[in-house]
Amino acid sequence: MLKAAVIGVGSMGRNHARVYRELEGVELVGVADQNGPTAAKVGATFAAPHYTDYQQLVEDCKPDLVTLAVPTVLHYEVACDLIERGIHVMVEKPITSTLEEGEKLVELARRKGVILAVGHIERFNPAIMERRRRLREGMAGRIYKIHAQRLSPYPARIRDAGVVIDLASHDIDLLRYLMDEPITRLYGETLKSINSDREDMFNGLIRFKGGAVGVLDVNWITPTKIRAMTVTGARGMFRCDLLSQELFFYENETAPSQWDVLSTLRGVSEGNVLGIRINRHEPLAAELGDFVGAVRDNRAPTVTGEEGLETLRIALEFVRSGKDIEVIEPEREFA
Ligand SMILES: NC(=O)c1ccc[n+]([C@@H]2O[C@H](COP(=O)([O-])OP(=O)(O)OC[C@H]3O[C@@H](n4cnc5c(N)ncnc54)[C@H](O)[C@@H]3O)[C@@H](O)[C@H]2O)c1
């Protein structure tokens, strides 16, 4: 049995506690939250000892692995403390608030031989997993465009990050994961509409090395929740709803041959629409299953600290691009 604990059991952390409790081969040994009533409530719900001081939890319960779901500004400080003690850490996304912190954290985990995973949960969305598999098989042919939409009402509880770092980091990670190609150029437009100190609307453009274009449309100013993504290629377009975990493929009837995945577009016309069967599961259960498996087998998790760091690097460059009205062409391509 691996001993798991959760530090920060607010809106996200309490779900980690629930899932650890249900995972085979894992025992939830404790939860900590600096808010006493929150810690007590979650501890009682999941029959686990609860603490207001996470260091006391660590000393008493000696967890092998921890989910860290405190506000992003605290990720670095608490994660360093845990890693120094040799505890494997799943840190919620984004990895840290700043690049310097992220770099130091990744280096520390490497030095200590500890597994550091980052909670980019959408990689474990079954509709995304299925689409990635089909993209790899060449179902859409050569990819021209990938477009992510993540629109939400304003979340009052997020006070330490703007919409690019907090929300668009999900899609930046997904675009990197699905395209699996270096990024040569990016440009972002941001707007502060509700806040005066951080952006709550973001539109971004990415150029991938192979020529494909990524489009990001992310905000906290929409009175409904939308999580959608299309991938358009020579042979058709995938459309995915990340909330309902649905995936469709719109065939291009004038498509290049099935065997010629790199061929260019000769024409586009409407063809059949295919609803793709998805074996639905809870993304968080798959994410934590992957993390626990990485600890057990001493292998890299699906989203490593390095991956989380690269996503943060891109997100921060988008913020800079929006502030300085600048197209970013980095000396070292984004991986
Ligand atoms: N992967 C996702 O889809 C997803 C979704 C939401 C939030 N998150 C991430 O999870 C993290 C937490 O976000 P949230 O929405 O759950 O916030 P939240 O405010 O609801 O919860 C954070 C909790 O941490 C507690 N806390 C603060 N300082 C602490 C400390 N020193 N020790 C112990 N507990 C402490 C707070 O009391 C609070 O209960 C953020 O990094 C956020 O970006 C990820």
Which pLDDT tens digit goes with each residue over 30-52? 999 999 999 999 999 999 999 99
In a domain, 86, yes or no: yes
Number of domains in the chain: 2
Is residue 195's pLDDT more than 80? Answer: no
Closest CA to 141 of 36, 274, 236, 279: 236
What's the gap in Å between 222 CA and the centre of ligand 1? 23
> Which among 7, 9, 11, 97 is the best mutation to test ligand 1's pocket, defined by most ligand atoms within 8 Å of the CB?
11
For 29, other C-beta atoms within 10 Å of its C-beta total 21
What's the gap in Å between 10 CA and the centre of ligand 1? 5
Same domain, 245 and 296: no
Report the pLDDT value the prediction gives residue 262, as an integer from 0 to 100: 58
Give the number of the atom of ligand 1 that is nearest the alpha carbon of residue 12.
16
pLDDT band, residue 332 (cuts 50/70/90): confident
Same domain, 106 and 155: no
pLDDT band, residue 156 (cuts 50/70/90): confident
Q: How many Å from the N-terminal Cα to the C-terminal Cα in the chain?
A: 36
In a domain, 65, yes or no: yes
In a domain, 310, yes or no: no
Output the residue whose Cα is nearest ligand 1's atom 4.
12
* Range 218-246 average pLDDT: 97
Report the pLDDT value the prediction gives residue 158, as an integer from 0 to 100: 64
Which CATH number goes with the domain that contains 32? 3.40.50.720
What's the gap in Å between 7 CA and the centre of ligand 1? 9
In a domain, 332, yes or no: no
Is residue 280's pLDDT more than 70? Answer: yes
Q: What residues does ligand 1 touch, defined as CB less than 6 Å away?
A: 7-8, 10-13, 32-35, 38, 54, 69-72, 74, 92-93, 119, 121, 157, 166
Q: Encode pLDDT of 85-119 as tens digits.
A: 999 999 999 999 999 999 999 999 999 999 999 99
Same domain, 151 and 241: yes
Is residue 261's pLDDT more than 60? Answer: no
What's the gap in Å between 13 CA and the centre of ligand 1? 6
Same domain, 144 and 249: yes
Give the number of the atom of ligand 1 that is nearest the alpha carbon of residue 91.
41
Is residue 256's pLDDT more than 80? Answer: no
Same domain, 258 and 297: no
Same domain, 158 and 102: no
In a domain, 100, yes or no: yes
Give the number of the atom of ligand 1 that is nearest the alpha carbon of residue 78.
31
Same domain, 250 and 289: no
In a domain, 273, yes or no: yes
> Which among 92, 121, 122, 288 is the best mutation to test ligand 1's pocket, defined by most ligand atoms within 8 Å of the CB?
92
Report the pLDDT value the prediction gives residue 329, as an integer from 0 to 100: 94
pLDDT band, residue 193 (cuts 50/70/90): confident
What is the radius of gyration, based on Cα positions, of the chain?
A: 21
What's the gap in Å between 62 CA and the centre of ligand 1? 22
Is residue 77's pLDDT more than 60? Answer: yes
Same domain, 29 and 59: yes
Same domain, 252 and 293: no
Report the pLDDT value the prediction gives residue 316, as an integer from 0 to 100: 97
Secondary structure of 37-49 in the HEC alphabet? HHHHHHHHHCCCC
How many alpha carbons lie under 13 Å from residue 158 in its C-beta half-sphere?
Answer: 23
- When the pLDDT of each residue in the chain is averaged and rounded to a whole number, the result is 95
In a domain, 103, yes or no: yes
Same domain, 161 and 260: yes
In a domain, 129, yes or no: no
Is residue 302's pLDDT more than 80? Answer: yes
Range of the domain at 39: 2-122+284-304
Report the pLDDT value the prediction gives residue 161, as an integer from 0 to 100: 83
The strand order across the sheet containing 2-7 reads 50-51, 26-32, 2-7, 65-68, 88-92, 116-119
Residue the block writes with tokens 């000696």:
62
Name the helix (H) or strand (E) containing 102.
Answer: helix 99-112
Concatenated DSSP letters of 283-307:
HHHHHHHHHHHHHHHT---SSBHHH
Q: Encode pLDDT of 262-272 as tens digits.
A: 566 778 888 89
Output the residue whose Cα is nearest ligand 1's atom 3.
121
Same domain, 230 and 148: yes
Is residue 4's pLDDT more than 90? Answer: yes
Q: CA-CA distance, 172 to 242, in Å (whole number)?
A: 15
Which CATH number goes with the domain that contains 178? 3.30.360.10
Report the pLDDT value the prediction gives residue 263, as an integer from 0 to 100: 61
Same domain, 158 and 296: no
